[in-house]
């Protein structure tokens, strides 16, 4: 596991990648459409600039992918569980990670308005398949998770994928798709917040987040177990909990858009039931671990201030499910999409298939982790698949190898280059400059000495000449006569051929 500071930095950088694309899309949209207002964008003339507008939608959606941890920017959220569970219950269940879903919903409404004049199918297909694949892959990873909080993190990513997939299916039935995404968003916020808070109570009591340190906690934390079971039933899609109805709407929207996406989403529902049952079995049922045996005299329910919120939220998920038919009707008819017929209700086939998927996932998990009548498959292909899932399908490793390690190597290379340049500067260049300085100083000293000698000689000559001029008239006359005789003598010698 990575340290919390590393996880925080990873979340920051990963979401910033999506933000860069979103900013590029916003700039492109502002230049081509002339506005960024969601109320004005549907009325923009799109006939002549539709390829650019479609590109801007896709770029902005990448920002939503980063914020809501969708494929391929999904690896930051499981590691972000290093934070406190109360924080995770707020920002990773109900608020922050839903911002990308909300942004996508607004983009879907704009795309539906533009669909009368341009082909926006690539946008809807990309959103739908990104969501479906994210939901499926994250559910697979949750099946083999060894940590309670990480299981809930993978579950969050998977449920966010459901919401995105529903929005991507809006090209077939906008009202149903948008209503299902919004309903599932609210339903997920309620039961996932309860799960995170109750998981925090368990981790606080046991002082560990790993399943190997759990087991048999239902004997000591009955109310917490009840709250977690209620919320888990909503997550798994057990009727009449809210998760059953909201997931039923999502599947209905996908069935009308793509059979392949519907089948994959239905399979994901089965995987969700499996890892949810596994989570409950490993935490509250079965034999007590050595850690629980050591702490059995210290184990107790959380304080009322901690217990009440997640118990109320768990009950709320049941009450929301009981009121689901009215809530569904409200959300569907609240979505006024221009030029779209109203949705009149889904087929009975979808709830039946949901229940079949629930049983198909929960039954084997119950046998393995609740009743413990059979052991999880080990060895052979099962072990290979499990290793692949434990290693997160090597997606995380790929990111570290391609981006993180290469960036660190580049940083190390620049550090080495900087040290080399610093050494060249501080050792060789400085020594060269100092040596040149000494040579210049010596040359300057020699020049100064030469100038001093020349000036001294000139001054000596001047002094000698000065002494010859005494200012005495007789002395000067004698010197003039001697000079004249010297000139005459030289002239005579010259005339004689000397």
Nearest residue to 131 via CA among 254, 296, 7, 287: 254
Residue 254: the pLDDT is 94
Is the model more confident about 478 or about 94? 478
pLDDT in tens, 118-162: 888 999 999 999 999 999 999 999 999 999 999 999 999 999 999
Is pLDDT above 90 for 268?
yes
Distance, CA of 110 to CA of 129 (rounded, Å): 19
Q: Mean pLDDT of all residues in the chain? A: 87
Segment 437-463 shows an average pLDDT of 89
Is pLDDT above 60 for 343?
no
Nearest residue to 139 via CA among 127, 129, 154, 149: 154
Residue 175 contacts residue 249 (beta carbons within 8 Å): no
Is pLDDT above 60 for 341?
no
How confident is residue 339, by pLDDT bands cut at 50, 70 and 90? Answer: very low
Segment 65-89 shows an average pLDDT of 85
- Among 100-114, 302-316, 422-436, where is mean pLDDT lowest? 422-436
- Residues of the chain with pLDDT > 90, as a percent, come to 43
Structure tokens at 218: 């239902």
pLDDT in tens, 391-419: 888 888 888 888 888 888 999 899 999 98
Q: Using H for helix, E for strand and C for coil, what is the string for 109-141?
A: HHHHHHCCCCCCHHHHHHHHHHHHHHHHHHHHH
The CA–CA distances, whole Å, from 481 to 473, 485, 486, 487 equal: 12, 6, 8, 10
Distance, CA of 405 to CA of 399 (rounded, Å): 9
Residue 336: the pLDDT is 57
Is pLDDT above 70 for 275?
yes
Residue 326: the pLDDT is 79
pLDDT in tens, 457-483: 888 888 877 776 666 777 778 878 888
- Residues of the chain with pLDDT > 70, as a percent, come to 95
Residue 141: the pLDDT is 94
Segment 95-108 shows an average pLDDT of 91
How confident is residue 327, by pLDDT bands cut at 50, 70 and 90? Answer: confident
Is pLDDT above 60 for 309?
yes
Is the model more confident about 346 or about 461? 461
pLDDT in tens, 186-217: 999 999 999 999 999 999 889 888 999 998 88
Backbone φ and ψ for 346, nearest 5 degrees, come out as -90, 175
Quote the strand ranges of 269-394, DSSP E.
none
Structure tokens at 247: 């997931």
Distance, CA of 271 to CA of 236 (rounded, Å): 9
Buried b (16+ CB within 10 A) or exposed e, 141-157: bbbbbebbbbbbbbbbb
How confident is residue 428, by pLDDT bands cut at 50, 70 and 90? Answer: confident
Every domain of the chain and the residues it spans = 4-390, 401-471
Is the model more confident about 342 or about 336? 336
How confident is residue 340, by pLDDT bands cut at 50, 70 and 90? Answer: very low
How confident is residue 346, by pLDDT bands cut at 50, 70 and 90? Answer: low
pLDDT in tens, 14-72: 999 999 999 999 999 999 888 889 888 888 877 666 788 889 999 999 999 999 989 88
């Amino acid at each position: 596991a990575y340290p919390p500071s590393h996880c925080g930095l990873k979340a920051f950088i990963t979401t910033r990648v999506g933000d860069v694309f979103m900013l590029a899309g916003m700039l492109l949209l502002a230049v081509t459409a002339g506005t960024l207002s969601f109320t004005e964008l549907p009325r923009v003339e799109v006939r002549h600039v539709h390829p650019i507008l479609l590109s801007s939608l896709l770029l902005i959606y990448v920002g939503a992918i980063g914020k809501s941890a969708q494929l391929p920017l999904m690896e930051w959220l499981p590691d972000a569980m290093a934070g406190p569970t109360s924080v995770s219950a707020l920002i990773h269940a109900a608020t922050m990670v839903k911002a990308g879903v909300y942004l996508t919903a607004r983009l879907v409404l704009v795309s539906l308005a533009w669909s009368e004049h341009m082909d926006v199918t690539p946008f809807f297909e990309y959103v739908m398949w990104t969501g479906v694949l994210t939901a499926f892959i994250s559910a697979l990873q949750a099946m083999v998770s060894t940590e309670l909080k990480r299981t809930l993190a993978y579950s969050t990513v998977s449920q966010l994928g459901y919401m995105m997939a529903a929005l991507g299916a809006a090209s077939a039935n906008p009202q149903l798709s948008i209503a299902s995404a919004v309903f599932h968003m609210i339903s997920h916020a309620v039961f996932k917040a309860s799960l995170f808070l109750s998981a925090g109570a368990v981790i606080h009591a046991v002082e560990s987040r790993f399943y190997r340190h759990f087991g048999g906690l239902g004997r000591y934390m009955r109310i917490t177990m009840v709250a977690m079971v209620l919320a888990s039933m909503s997550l798994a899609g057990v009727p009449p909990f809210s998760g059953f109805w909201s997931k039923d709407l999502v599947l209905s929207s996908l069935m009308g858009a793509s059979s392949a996406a519907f089948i994959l989403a239905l399979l994901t529902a089965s995987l969700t039931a499996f890892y949810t049952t596994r989570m409950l079995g490993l935490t509250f049922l079965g034999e007590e671990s050595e850690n629980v045996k050591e702490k059995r005299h210290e184990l107790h329910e959380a304080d009322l201030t901690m217990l009440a919120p997640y118990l109320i939220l768990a009950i709320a998920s049941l009450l929301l499910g009981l009121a689901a038919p009215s809530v569904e009707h409200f959300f569907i008819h609240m979505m006024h999409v221009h030029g779209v017929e109203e949705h009149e209700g889904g087929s009975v086939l979808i709830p039946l298939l949901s229940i079949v998927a629930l049983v198909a996932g929960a039954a084997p998990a119950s046998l393995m982790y609740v009743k413990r009548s059979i052991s999880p498959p080990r060895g052979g292909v099962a072990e290979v698949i499990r290793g692949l899932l434990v290693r997160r399908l090597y997606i995380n490793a790929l990111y570290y190898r391609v981006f993180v390690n290469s960036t660190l190597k580049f940083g190390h290379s620049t550090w080495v280059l900087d040290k080399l340049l610093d050494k060249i500067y501080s050792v060789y260049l400085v020594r060269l400059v100092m040596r040149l300085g000494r040579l210049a100083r010596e040359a300057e000293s020699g020049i100064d000495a030469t100038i001093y000698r020349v000036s001294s000689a000139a001054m000596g000559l001047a002094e000698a000449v000065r002494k010859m001029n005494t200012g005495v008239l007789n002395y000067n006359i004698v010197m003039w006569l001697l000079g004249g005789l010297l000139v005459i003598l030289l002239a005579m010698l010259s005339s004689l051929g000397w």
